[in-house]
Amino acid sequence: MISAWDCFHFATLELVRSTPIKQRLVAAQDKAKVLLGRADPFTEKVEQGDRSLYRARFAGFNKDQAETACKHLKRSEIPCMLLRN
């Protein structure tokens, strides 16, 4: 049986449309190659009022892996938050 923590995501910085979100995914992966090597990167569009934000996200973690990766990114000054799938 799959536990509630099997799919864990973490989102890096929310960015306005003009910032190349894919570059943020690559930058995050460069900062944590070992931790993010097998993760599935994707972007998510979020509407906030009259503006669109884009989140760089990674999937495919259990809780411990996601927490470790997020802590590592925060130490590299990349904002990060855990999201349960």
7-17, pLDDT tens digit by residue? 455 666 566 55
Q: Quick check: is 66 in a domain?
A: yes
Q: Is residue 25 part of a domain?
A: yes
Q: What is the pLDDT of residues 11-49, one digit of tens each?
A: 665 665 545 777 878 888 888 888 888 888 888 888 888
Reported pTM: 0.72
Residues near 19 by Cβ (< 8 Å), separated by ≥ 6?
54
CATH number at residue 43: 3.30.70.1070
